[in-house]
């Protein structure tokens, strides 16, 4: 009788423990996946904002008017960018500080291609077209 009870108990407990382990592991993996997705989306959001800030500053006739956007973009790239993007951002900052002028196209091209890859688009070759609309006097 005692052996029968132990076998019946084991037949109930073992599947219950396996089911609990499966549920727990599924929950852990789901939480990790969702956290990774949120981090990726946040990183992409910051880099898109940085791209827009740099685009706004690129070839701006009065750079001091968009200095806050430019500074924030460089800061965000140094926080969320790839090692290559960080290198390009720092290179841009150092050149701007030394010569009072610097080229943003290499950094913007790298950001453009990286962000396109993140959202499932192919990289684009060639230059970036900068449109400047002015009012006739």
- In the predicted structure, residue 1 carries a pLDDT above the cut 70: no
Q: What is the mean pLDDT of the chain?
A: 90
Residue 122 has a CB neighbour count (10 Å cut-off) of 8
Contacts of 99 (CB under 8 A, 6+ apart): none
With a pLDDT cut of 70, the percent of the chain lying above it is: 97
Q: Which pLDDT tens digit goes with each residue over 20-79?
A: 999 999 999 999 999 999 999 999 999 999 999 999 998 888 888 999 999 999 999 999
Tokens standing for residue 81: 């960018």
Is residue 130 in some structural domain?
no
Domain total of the chain: 1
Give a yes or no: residue 92 inside a domain.
yes
In a domain, 74, yes or no: yes
- Confirm whether 95 is domain-assigned: yes
Does the pTM surpass 0.85? The reply is no
In a domain, 30, yes or no: no
33 domain-assigned: no
2-57 vs 67-80: helix crossing angle, rounded to 10: 150
* Residue 102 lies inside a defined structural domain of this protein: yes
Domain span at 51: 43-118
């Amino acid at each position: 009788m005692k052996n029968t009870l132990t076998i019946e108990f084991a037949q109930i407990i073992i599947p219950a423990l396996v089911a609990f382990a499966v549920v727990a592991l599924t929950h852990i993996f789901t939480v990790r996946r969702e956290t990774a997705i949120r981090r990726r989306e946040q990183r992409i959001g910051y880099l898109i904002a940085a791209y827009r800030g740099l685009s706004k500053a690129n070839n701006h006739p009065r750079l001091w008017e968009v200095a806050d956007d430019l500074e924030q973009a460089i800061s965000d790239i140094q926080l969320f960018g790839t090692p290559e993007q960080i290198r390009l951002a720092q290179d841009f900052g150092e050149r701007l500080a030394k010569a009072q002028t610097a080229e943003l196209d290499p950094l913007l091209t790298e950001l453009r291609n990286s962000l396109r890859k993140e959202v499932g688009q192919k990289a684009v070759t060639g230059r970036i077209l900068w449109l400047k609309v002015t009012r006739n006097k």
